[in-house]
Amino acid sequence: MSEPRIRVSGEVNDALAAGRPVVALESTIISHGLPQPDNLRVAREIEQVVRAHGAVPATVGMVAGEILVGLDDDALTRLATGDEVAKLSVRDVPIAAARGADGATTVASTSAIAASVGIEVFATGGLGGVHRQAGETFDESADLVTLARIPIVVVCAGVKSILDVGATLERLETLGVGVVGYRTARFPGFFVTDSGFDLDWRLDSAEEVAAAWRAHRAFGVSPGALVVANPLPEDQQLDRELHDRVLAEGLAIVERDAVTGKEVTPVLLAHFHSATGGASLATNIRIILANAALAAQIAASGAAPAT
């Protein structure tokens, strides 16, 4: 058997070699975060938005045990429509590879794989974080500890209110992960513009983010990531009352059905999408596309130091 290795698409490889901007994209939002059939259309749209803003998209995923950076349309379709696509955090990736599995990568595994091939900017929807009840369950996403050791700029809309937002911000601080608000000093709450938590730093342009990242890389005082929190404009957020009601219902379902571990997020997201009659899905899509656009602008502003 050949040595396991990460397969980078020709287009992504050429762009990296030439120092052109590249944006990594995750596949868990496609396979487990968005419902079919919208997920495949959205996956393609995210890539188009990255291109339209001057960067090459590099969606990460696993097909038949191979880690791919830059998916062709067949691979994208397979991860969006397959019934047996595993959710792969960092620890799962090598095991799934040895099993020849299909898998979707989370923020943690996408960051680790992307950085290992030299990609420095990544766009996603929301980060994983500290779950409510983590005091008893210890349920904290591996996204957080992974971002503490992987050098990459992650553009997101904060974390979903299904998590303990305050505890997530505290953990990011403890772990030394930089967090900046994009044109805001408040941490966004994914579906809602403002989670109610303050941020220490606000940056107002893609160039400013790129400059902060170059300093991060040059000083080497922190090994990890820089989170760029990009809120939805207020007039595009999910209706707050609807949001709060559906969240309470979703949390009750998780408790009633004793959902635990990595199933919690997909179950809550599916409830949001069905209980809001598609409104949360539309909001989710707007968020991802906005983050893809900003990430491409940051990459095009020279986030990666010249080599």
Q: How far is Cα 2 from Cα 233, in angstroms, rounded to an integer?
A: 49
Which of 265, 276, 280, 297 forms a contact with ligand PSU (CB under 6 A)? Answer: 265
Task: Report whether 141 belongs to an annotated binding site.
Answer: yes
Catalytic one among 47, 120, 140, 160?
160
> Which partner from the list Mn ion, ligand PSU, none does 143 bind, CB cut-off 5 to 8 Å by kind?
ligand PSU
By CB under 6 A, residue 152 contacts ligand PSU: no
- Asked if 144 and 168 touch (Cβ cutoff 8 Å), the reply is yes
Which residues 83-122 are close enough to bind ligand PSU by CB under 6 A? 89, 106-108
> Which partner from the list Mn ion, ligand PSU, none does 9 bind, CB cut-off 5 to 8 Å by kind?
none
Q: How far is Cα 25 from Cα 58, in angstroms, rounded to an integer?
A: 6
Q: Is 262 a catalytic residue?
A: no
Q: Which residue has the tokens 């960051």?
A: 111
Q: How far is the CB of 254 from Mn ion (least distance, A)?
A: 12
Per-residue CA distances from 302 to 92, 161, 298 (Å): 32, 33, 7
Task: Report whether 52 belongs to an annotated binding site.
Answer: no
- Asked if 206 and 230 touch (Cβ cutoff 8 Å), the reply is no
Return the DSSP state at 238: P
Which of 47, 92, 120, 143 forms a contact with ligand PSU (CB under 6 A)? Answer: 143
- Asked if 106 and 26 touch (Cβ cutoff 8 Å), the reply is yes
Which residues 15-44 are close enough to bind ligand PSU by CB under 6 A? 26, 28-29, 32-33
Task: Report whether 262 belongs to an annotated binding site.
Answer: no
Per-residue CA distances from 300 to 104, 144, 297 (Å): 26, 26, 5
Write the binding mask 183 to 222 for ligand PSU: x where contact by CB under 6 A, - elsewhere.
-------x--------------------------------
> Which partner from the list Mn ion, ligand PSU, none does 142 bind, CB cut-off 5 to 8 Å by kind?
ligand PSU
Task: Report whether 107 belongs to an annotated binding site.
Answer: yes
> Which partner from the list Mn ion, ligand PSU, none does 193 bind, CB cut-off 5 to 8 Å by kind?
none
Nearer of residues 15 and 49 to ligand PSU, judged by Cβ: 49
Residues that bind Mn ion (CB under 5 A): 139
Q: Ramachandran region of residue 2, left (φ > 0), alpha (ψ -120 to 50) or beta?
A: beta
Q: Is 173 a catalytic residue?
A: no
Catalytic one among 26, 47, 120, 140?
26
- Asked if 71 and 16 touch (Cβ cutoff 8 Å), the reply is no
Per-residue CA distances from 180 to 165, 198, 267 (Å): 15, 10, 29
Cα dihedral 177, 180, 181, 185 sign: positive
Nearer of residues 80 and 142 to ligand PSU, judged by Cβ: 142
Q: How far is the CB of 167 from ligand PSU (least distance, A)?
A: 13
Full 3-state SS string of 109-174: HHHHHHHHCCCCEEECCCCCCEECCHHHHCCECHHHHHHCCCCCEEEECECCCCECHHHHHHHHHH
Nearer of residues 264 and 300 to ligand PSU, judged by Cβ: 264
Chain contacts with ligand PSU (rule: CB under 6 A): 26, 28-29, 32-33, 89, 106-108, 125-126, 128, 141-143, 160, 190, 262, 265, 269
Active site residues: 26, 160
- Binding-site positions for substrate: 87, 107, 141-143
